[in-house]
Structure formats: structure tokens, C-alpha cells
Amino acid sequence: MRVLVVEDDPDLNRQLVTALTDGGYAVDSAKDGEEGYFLGETEPYDVVILDIGLPKMDGISILEQWRRAERNMPVIILTARDRWSDKVQGMDAGADDYVAKPFHMEELLARVRAQVRRSTGHAKNEIECGPLRLDTKSARVTYDGQPVKLTSHEYRLLAYMMHHNGRVVSRTELVEHLYEQDFDRDSNTIEVFIGRLRKKIPGDLIKTVRGLGYRLSEEPDAP
């Protein structure tokens, strides 16, 4: 899953990026409104964390323009605690949620998880595909109750497929949602990670759909 952080306070920006990265997300960040608007307009994100008070372009204007352009990714706005009007403006502009500053990082991470779940049609933190289970809160993967040890990139790939289980996901989509903007993206590495996951997860749950991509499903392949 890929997240965009648009926050001009350098310390808070860094803290958000660190916490989200540790939580298993690929994270891009911007420190002013113009850069944040451009990234949100041109890159695919699963969630955006958007500060309201930004230099060069304010958060409300950014959000309004994204929504007019039918950019529908979930957006969580950051507001000052005493500015209830910011919250109203943000929600009316198309925000999906808000967090008032100062906030506890765990609260924000919980809200990010909730937005990812809702946008992919899941109601709870635990996502299952047969004996395979992903706990998005703890970033823990188990198979038949036994822990599956994954690298950060393996976890990102599996988490994305678990959130979209039953649907064919192309290599291009995986590359776009697993790597940060400045990462050297190579779709061939997806094959490598898929191969590693298949060695760690039994049961032939990861299907190759020739010419289209991959599908995570406990259903057997069609004859």
C-alpha cells in the first residue's frame, strides 16, 4: 500500500514517514502544497494524509481540485485542534476523515488502516484467504496459525494482494502501489517477490493469470 504525506512541518513530516514506513507502507512526502498537489494528481495512492495549512497552495484547494479531477483516493486531513471550521471545510471539500493536531501517531495509523479497509471492501483488521491470514494492525501474516516471516517488500506485495483478494492485479498496478516515487521501479522484480512468496506460502494461493497478472484466491484454477 502506498501513502502520500503532505505536511510542511519538517519534524512532523519525518515522523509520519517513519511511522508509516515501519507500518509496512510505501511512503512519498511533500513539504508544500504545489508538490503535494502534483504528486496526488499524477501518482496512484491508497491513502493521502493532507495538512490544511500549507505554503504555496492550501490543503482545501488541493483537495477540491483533486476531487474535481475525479481523484478518488481516501484523504485524511490534518487540522489545528481549535479550528473546527477547517474540519467542516475539509469534509465538504471531499475529505474522508480528519485528525486534529496534536495527535497520537497510533490514532493516525488506525485511521489510515480504516481508510484502506473501506476502500478495498474489508470491515475488519484481519483479512483471510483460506488458511492465510493478514493482521493489518500488527502487520503479521500467518498460515494455518503459523507465522510467515516476510521481508518488507514481500509483506507489501502480499498485503496489497490480500486487500484485493479474488481480483486479478497486474504487474503495473503492483509496481505503482508497492514502491515510492524515487524507487528504481522494475516490473521484473515483482516476479521475484511472487516466487519468494510462493515458497513461503503453501497451497497454491497465488495464481498467475497469463497476460494479465496475478490473483490471490483459495479457489482452484479453472480447467
The structural domains of the chain, ordered by start, are 2-120 (3.40.50.2300), 126-216 (1.10.10.10)
Task: Note the pLDDT tens digit of each residue in 167-215.
Answer: 999 999 999 998 887 666 666 788 999 999 999 998 789 999 998 999 9
pTM exceeds cut of 0.85: yes
CB 81 within 8 A of CB 100: yes
Question: What grid cell was written down for 173?
Answer: 498496478
Predicted local distance difference test score (pLDDT) of residue 185: 62
pLDDT tens readout for residues 53-89: 999 999 999 999 999 999 999 999 998 867 788 889 8
